[in-house]
Amino acid sequence: MYSNGSGPPLIVVPGIQGRWEWLRPPLDALQRHCRTVSYSLGGDFGAGWRNDPSLGFENYLRQLDQVFDQAGIERAALCGSSYGGFIALRYAATRPHRVSRLILASSPSPGWKPNPRQSGYISRPWISTPAFLATAPARLWPEIDAAFDSASERLAFCATHMLRVFMAPAIPSLMAGRIVEQQSIDFAADCASVTCPTLVTSGEPHLDTVVPVAATRQYLSLIPGAKYAMIERTGHLGLLTRPETFASIVAGFVERTSSAKRELLDARHY
């Protein structure tokens, strides 16, 4: 588990790869503003949670209960990265007493479907992994190129991220299973049940080749009062390529909540 910083608590749910280590840059940036906590999804190495097949998606909610308890946090802002947005969304809808703020970062919306290339990876996760890894640089290079000003910065980002992936490998079959599980669930009702302030973030539409920005932006009409912020010069990897910008947007949203709550309590006191 990652737990650093001080201030208003924020728990970050990782994406489909399931490893908090992949999110190290934004976590380190966020912990300068908030008490920042993250963890690996159930079933992954070092997660400390063994998924019960009979529970299905509920595993992720119960694991998140455990994360709150282990971190000693009663109530926190909750940020879901990409696939993690589904977990954060359902948790906020079913446990509103624990979630003060919801942030959905480049998350697929209810009804999102994998494109044909993604479907091929899902149907044959282990066999498809070499092809997936081989084509990833070409698919992601346009946003990496846009996010950094020099070739040395781009190469440094690629090298450090590849090292994180190597040191904290994802499990292809788990990733595929998570998407299959998500496809069988209608999250639209969860959107209508969210009562906390919500922020939706994404990169620029022409740079996100993983989840269409239009799909992420659907949350603005599904969750009452949801706000939107776009991270410029990046796509789906905005948390990683522009971590300081991402942290500034998210922390500002979380800190405004904390400040407004204190002002309300002070007003009631006097």
Q: What is the pLDDT of residue 258?
A: 54
CA distance 148 to 154: 6
- Burial class of 42 by CB neighbour count within 10 A (0 to 12, 13 to 18, 19+): buried
Q: In a 3-state reduction of DSSP, which class is residue 104?
A: strand
Q: pLDDT value at position 20?
A: 96
List domains and CATH numbers for the chain.
2-269 (3.40.50.1820)
pTM, two decimal places? 0.91
The whole-angstrom separation of Cα 63 and Cα 173 is 20
pLDDT under 70 in the chain at which residues?
A: 257-270
* Contact (Cβ atoms closer than 8 angstroms) between residue 86 and residue 187: yes
227-230, strands of its sheet edge to edge: 2-4, 35-38, 9-13, 76-81, 99-105, 198-202, 227-230
CA dihedral 87, 95, 263, 267 (to 10 degrees): 170
Query: Which residues make Cβ contacts (< 8 Å) with residue 244, sequence separation at least 6?
Result: 29
Indicate if the alpha-carbon torsion angle 49, 121, 191, 189 is positive or negative: negative
34 Cβ neighbours under 8 A, 6+ residues apart: 5, 7, 8, 9, 10, 77, 251, 254, 255
Contacts of 187 (CB under 8 A, 6+ apart): 86, 89, 90, 109, 110
Closest to 125 in 3D by CA, of 84, 167, 177, 181: 177
Q: Which helix (H) or strand (E) holds 105?
A: strand 99-105
Name residue 200's amino acid.
V
